[in-house]
Structures are given as structure tokens and as C-alpha cells.
């Protein structure tokens, strides 16, 4: 156990985490050059494209140092704000962390929030400045930032380049020398922390864990404490590039267990695994049920594909337990699902996975956060869907979730960010200079304001020089109303949105304008209206198509024309008919594109 080191890498997206991880694996011959693909740890297509590690993974590195064999377990962490709980559990499985900062970019908000999480978990931090070989490297400045942030000595900061391999040996040495070996009792009852799981279509759920106390042997009867379910350990082992089965995994080590679990819901990140016959009395602290933050409807484009979609959602949930969903019936869209996501990115990922992996074309509706409505009778209603909002006359008050938002940027963008955040009902809590050229702004903001178009605006207002992170900080009272959209006087439930009353007028106007753009001209005039209650706030008209007939239809024209119209008909199948209006798929998310 004294030769085990468990560590992770804290870094902002694009700061070179995956490249450095590759280099560590290569240098230690954990994988051969032949096995080497770029960024081996990101093995989902989507992850590689988006450049984000969505699911955390782990890999064991064997390294000889000063004549001794060491086991270094690298636990990879997801790098996006939507996944902060998963990050915290991965950190809890480690004793140390590499704090990786891009020499050309400096510290970003997300790095800081994950760093705080690491410090909260008592991790030993090894600061590493990466990409020092790049032209724009500002090594001294970034050093100052790091020192200011964690109070280390300048000589404790390592310099590296994942691309060329500079500094990789020093990093390995620091991991062994500075990160403490795990503590724990091998003879104590089993206590293992689940920090991740993946779904394998042949073997079921593969659970990744870190053993805090005790030993886990193949064939053991184990119990997952939070779910109180018992299983037999069909296979246990350690994680190399693939799975390597072992007879047992001991205290301090990182490994996997396969028990034949088919449903990801039974495996909760942060849960404790113990021995069913000799259970631990203590659960590992920090476990939380993952709570979805953003809700939206997902509907099949064709109503008759509902059953197929249900099947795909079930399968998707098997390997993504953070996705929640329940049946939703919409007057406009028929049967579908109300889904809960960790955040907007998570929502996007789910939609893309449905399309790519499951070949499902879906309509995603306006996302909203989870509000709490208190009725005049004193009932408390959780509102995850505009249709669940009680009548205004029966509502005593409504509360909305707030977040603490952390933004790090250059001083010249402070003004823009202030304007943006204040327009999003933000309250400035703190402003501090990390260095002369980096400012941290802390706001308290309603989560619902982030959901719509915050990221894109933040990016454009700061030319990309702002990083953002957030944490929920509870509920506050707010004047939230339901805005309905009417197409030719019919309310379209799937286009309703829950918004702050003060924004109603502007929001309604923009939404109507956007819908006018997205809904094509049709045979009939279309009136688009935005309303709160009975009050119409905005209206746009799409005039009817005046002429839609080809002049000639003789012998040679018939086939050509039929094919043309058949193609038109196919195009219409990607639209939903609501009343006599055909609404294209993308119109249902118009609300996210108001300023494009």
C-alpha cells in the first residue's frame, strides 16, 4: 500500500490534460506506441469531438522509481460545469492532484472551483504549468497566479509540455514523492467508494471504485449501501487500458467490479460498497443523489416512433444514471418524456447521442429549471414543466433556484460582464484581482437565466476570454410567470416557457420574431402570439404562400413533379403539425437562439 499513489488532473478544457495523460502512459510504457491513439482516455466519439471528458475513467500506471515498483492510479475527471458532483467523487478517491494550467492562458474559473473541491478533500496539490514551449507562454505570470491561489513556493511549481514530453519525468517523481500513500486498514470491513461506472452491453454495468478499507475478492457477497442491494462479485480487477481481472483488490487501490447489474440506476456515484457478510458501520461521506438542474421535453418527430424512443431512452439511462425522465404528454407533440439533465451541455449530449447512437430524430422543447410553487392552500409543488405551474390566482409565491457564479476574465471585460450579469438579474458579491490581468467576479444569479443564452453571450461579450463556473446555493422567491405561445390562436404547450415577469415583454417579442424566421411560409396565414395569461404581449404574422403551383403538367412533367412533391412531403415529415401549422423541429428550441 505504501507504493500506491492515487491522483487526478485538475485542468480547464483545452489546457492539455488528455495530452499530458497520454504522455504519462507512454513514458511509463503503460501502453505501447501502437496502442497509442490521441487522447486515449476519451473513448466516446462525442467526447473527442467536443474535447471534453464526459465520463470519468481510471487507468493504472506501473512505474519504477529509485529501485522500487510503484502503482500510480490516474483517475480522470470530467471537465465541465454540469458535472461537478462527479468531479467531487473522483477527487475523493485520490490523495493528490496535478493542477494543470496552460502557460498561454492562465487559471480559469473552472480550474479554481475544482481546485477548491480538491483542497476540501485534503488532496496534495502539485502545480504544473503546461505548454511552456508555446509562443504565447507567460510562465512567470502564471506562476504568480498559482502562488497567489494555493500559497505554494515558486520552486514547487513544475514546468511541462505534454506535447513534447518536457517535464514528464519530474511530474512522475513529484507524484511519488509528494502525494501521500493511501491510509487504511486491510483487515477492516470492506469500504470502497464508487466514483464512476460504465455500461457494457455484454457484461452490464462495470463499477469503478477506490478501496478505503478492507479487501474485495472475487466471489465476495457485496452490498451497495445507499441502495441496500446485494450482489456477488462475478469479477474484480484493476484498470489498465482495458480491464485486468484479479483475485482481489486491496486497500488503497483502484479497481472495478462486475456483478451483472443491468441498470445504471442501481449504481450511484459516491455510494459505498461493503461486504454483505461483514459490513462496515461507516459509509463514506459526501454521497449525494445527483439532482437534475435543467428539464426539457424530448419527443419523437413522428408520433408513431414513441415506443422506439422509449426503448432508446431506457438504454441510454443504463449508462447515464444522471439522466432522469418520466412520461410527458403534450397536446402539441403527443407522447414523449420530461427529462432532467445536469445542465445544458448534458442536454445537448443526450440529444446528440440519441441521434448518433440510436438514430432517433427528436424534438427537444424549451428547457427550464426546477421551480417551487406554494399555493394559497399551503401546498408545495415542484414545477419541472410549464404545464405544472398552478394558476396565478391559486399561487401564493414561487421560488427559483439560485447559483453562485464565478467568472474569471481580463479587466477590460469587467464592464461587459457586469452589464450581462445584471441584465440576467445577477447580484455582484465579490470582485478580486487574482493578478494584474485576471479578475474574478462572483455573482449570485438565478439559474434560469443561465439556461437560456448565457454561455454564448458571455463568450461573445468577452471574445472568449472568460471562464465560468457555478454552484447551486438554494431557492429564493421570484416573480416567475408562464409565457404561452399561440399559433393561430391555439396554445402550443410545447412552446411555453417559465420566465421572470420583468422580461416578459422583451422575451415575448424576440420569441415571436424568432419563430417567424423558423416557421416557413405555408398555405395559410399564421399568427404567432406570446401571452401571459390572457394578455397578449407580442404578435407576428407569417403571410400565407400566395402561389404554389407549377404551370405545366404534361407527359414528361408528371414523374418529375411527383418526385419533387414527394420530396417536399418528406421534408414535412420532419415537422410537427399543430392545428393547421407545420412547425419544424428547430422551432421548439427557438428560445435558445433569440439573439442569433
Using CB under 8 A, list all residues that contact other proteins.
Answer: 522-524, 545-556, 558-559, 561-562, 565-566, 568-569, 572, 580
**Minimum CB distance to other proteins, residue 490 (Å):** 13
Q: Fill in the DSSP letter of residue 123.
A: P
Q: Quote the longest CA-to-CA distance of the chain.
A: 90
Of 379 and 557, nearer to other proteins (C-beta) is 557
16 annotated as a binding-site residue: yes
Of 27 and 302, nearer to other proteins (C-beta) is 302
Rounded to 5°, the CA angle 37-41-47 comes to 95
Q: Fill in the DSSP letter of residue 461.
A: H
Of 136 and 555, nearer to other proteins (C-beta) is 555
**Closest listed residue to residue 533, CA positions, set 474, 482, 572:** 482
For cell 505554494, what's the residue?
A: 152
Rounded to the nearest 10 degrees, what angle do helices 447-461 and 344-356 cross at?
A: 80
**Closest listed residue to residue 56, CA positions, set 5, 106, 103, 21:** 21
Structural contact between residues 445 and 401, judged by C-beta atoms closer than 8 angstroms = no
**Minimum CB distance to other proteins, residue 565 (Å):** 4
Of 279 and 520, nearer to other proteins (C-beta) is 520
**SS3 category, 415:** helix
**How many CA atoms within 13 Å lie on the side-chain side of 409?**
25
Of 67 and 556, nearer to other proteins (C-beta) is 556
Of 289 and 566, nearer to other proteins (C-beta) is 566
**Minimum CB distance to other proteins, residue 557 (Å):** 9
* Paired strand residues for 273: 192, 224
Of 64 and 569, nearer to other proteins (C-beta) is 569
**Minimum CB distance to other proteins, residue 475 (Å):** 46
Residues 6+ apart with CB under 8 A from 353: 46, 316
**Closest listed residue to residue 126, CA positions, set 166, 170, 92, 157:** 157
**Minimum CB distance to other proteins, residue 566 (Å):** 6
For cell 407580442, what's the residue?
A: 538
**Closest listed residue to residue 217, CA positions, set 280, 278, 282, 275:** 275
Using CA atoms, how far residue 206 sits from 168, 181, 267, 268, in Å, is: 31, 26, 9, 12
Q: Fill in the DSSP letter of residue 260.
A: -
133 annotated as a binding-site residue: yes
**Minimum CB distance to other proteins, residue 496 (Å):** 24
**Minimum CB distance to other proteins, residue 420 (Å):** 41
Structural contact between residues 382 and 401, judged by C-beta atoms closer than 8 angstroms = no
131 annotated as a binding-site residue: yes
* Paired strand residues for 446: 402
**Minimum CB distance to other proteins, residue 545 (Å):** 7
572 annotated as a binding-site residue: no
**Minimum CB distance to other proteins, residue 513 (Å):** 23
**How many CA atoms within 13 Å lie on the side-chain side of 152?**
19
d(CA 86, CA 79): 10
Give CA 522 to chain center in angstroms.
38
Of 464 and 555, nearer to other proteins (C-beta) is 555
Of 64 and 546, nearer to other proteins (C-beta) is 546
**Residues comprising the binding site?**
14-19, 130-133
Known binding residues for GTP: 14-19, 130-133
Amino acid at each position: 500500500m505504501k507504493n500506491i499513489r492515487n491522483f487526478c488532473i485538475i485542468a480547464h478544457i483545452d489546457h492539455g490534460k488528455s495530452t499530458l495523460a497520454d504522455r504519462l502512459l507512454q513514458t511509463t510504457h503503460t501502453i505501447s506506441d501502437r496502442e497509442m491513439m490521441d487522447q486515449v482516455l476519451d473513448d466516446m466519439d462525442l467526447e473527442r469531438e467536443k474535447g471534453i471528458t464526459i465520463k470519468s475513467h481510471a487507468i493504472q500506471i506501473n512505474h519504477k522509481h529509485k529501485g522500487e515498483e510503484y502503482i500510480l492510479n490516474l483517475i480522470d475527471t470530467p471537465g465541465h460545469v454540469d458535472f461537478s458532483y462527479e468531479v467531487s467523487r473522483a477527487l475523493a478517491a485520490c490523495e493528490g492532484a496535478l493542477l494543470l494550467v496552460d502557460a498561454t492562458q492562465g487559471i480559469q474559473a473552472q480550474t479554481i472551483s475544482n481546485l477548491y473541491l480538491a483542497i476540501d478533500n485534503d488532496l496534495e496539490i502539485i502545480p504544473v504549468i503546461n505548454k511552456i514551449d508555446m509562443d504565447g507562454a507567460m510562465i512567470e505570470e502564471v506562476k504568480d497566479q498559482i502562488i497567489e491561489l494555493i500559497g505554494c513556493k515558486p520552486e514547487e511549481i513544475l514546468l511541462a509540455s505534454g506535447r513534447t514530453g518536457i517535464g514528464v519525468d519530474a511530474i512522475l517523481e513529484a507524484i511519488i514523492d509528494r502525494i501521500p500513500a493511501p491510509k487504511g486498514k486491510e483487515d477492516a470491513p470492506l469500504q470502497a467508494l464508487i466514483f464512476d461506472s460504465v455500461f457494457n452491453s455484454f457484461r452490464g454495468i462495470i463499477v469503478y471504485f477506490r478501496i478505503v478499507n478492507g479487501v474485495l475478492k472475487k466471489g465476495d457477497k457485496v452490498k451497495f449501501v445507499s441502495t441496500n442491494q446485494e450482489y456477488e462479485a462475478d469479477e474484480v480487477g484493476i484498470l489498465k487500458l482495458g480491464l485486468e481481472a484479479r483475485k482481489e483488490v486491496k486497500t488503497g487501490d483502484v479497481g472495478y467490479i462486475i456483478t451483472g447489474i443491468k441498470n445504471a440506476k442501481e449504481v450511484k456515484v459516491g455510494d459505498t460498497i461493503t461486504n454483505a457478510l461483514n459490513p462496515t458501520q461507516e459509509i463514506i461521506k459526501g454521497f449525494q443523489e445527483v439532482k437534475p438542474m435543467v428539464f426539457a421535453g424530448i419527443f419523437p418527430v413522428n408520433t408513431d416512433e414513441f415506443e422506439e424512443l422509449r426503448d432508446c431512452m431506457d438504454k441510454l439511462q443504463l449508462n447515464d444514471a444522471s439522466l432522469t425522465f418520466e412520461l410527458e404528454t403534450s397536446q402539441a407533440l403527443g407522447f414523449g418524456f420530461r427529462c432532467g439533465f445536469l445542465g445544458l451541455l448534458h442536454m445537448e449530449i443526450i440529444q446528440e447521442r440519441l441521434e448518433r447512437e440510436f438514430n432517433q430524430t427528436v424534438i427537444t422543447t424549451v428547457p427550464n429549471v426546477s421551480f417551487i410553487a406554494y399555493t394559497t392552500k399551503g401546498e408545495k409543488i415542484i414545477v419541472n414543466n410549464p404545464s405544472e405551474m398552478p394558476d396565478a390566482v391559486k399561487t401564493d409565491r414561487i421560488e427559483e433556484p439560485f447559483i453562485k457564479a464565478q467568472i474569471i476574465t481580463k479587466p477590460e471585460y469587467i464592464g461587459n460582464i457586469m452589464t450581462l450579469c445584471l441584465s440576467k438579474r445577477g447580484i455582484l458579491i465579490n470582485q478580486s484581482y487574482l493578478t494584474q490581468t485576471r479578475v474574478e467576479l462572483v455573482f449570485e444569479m438565478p439559474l434560469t437565466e443561465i439556461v437560456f443564452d448565457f454561455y454564448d453571450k458571455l463568450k461573445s461579450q468577452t471574445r472568449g476570454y472568460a471562464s465560468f463556473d457555478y454552484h447551486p446555493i438554494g431557492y429564493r422567491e421570484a416573480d416567475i410567470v408562464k409565457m404561452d405561445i399561440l399559433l393561430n390562436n391555439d396554445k402550443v404547450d410545447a412552446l411555453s416557457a417559465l420566465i421572470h415577469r420583468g422580461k416578459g415583454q422583451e422575451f415575448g417579442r424576440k420569441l415571436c420574431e424568432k419563430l417567424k424566421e423558423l416557421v416557413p411560409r405555408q398555405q395559410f396565414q399564421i399568427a404567432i402570439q406570446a401571452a401571459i395569461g390572457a394578455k397578449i404581449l407580442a404578435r407576428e404574422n407569417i403571410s400565407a404562400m400566395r402561389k404554389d403551383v407549377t404551370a405545366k403538367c404534361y407527359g414528361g412533367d408528371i414523374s418529375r413533379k411527383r418526385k419533387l412533391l414527394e420530396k417536399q412531403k418528406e421534408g414535412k415529415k420532419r415537422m410537427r403539425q399543430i392545428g393547421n401549422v407545420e412547425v419544424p423541429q428547430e422551432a421548439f428550441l427557438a428560445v435558445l437562439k433569440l439573439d442569433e
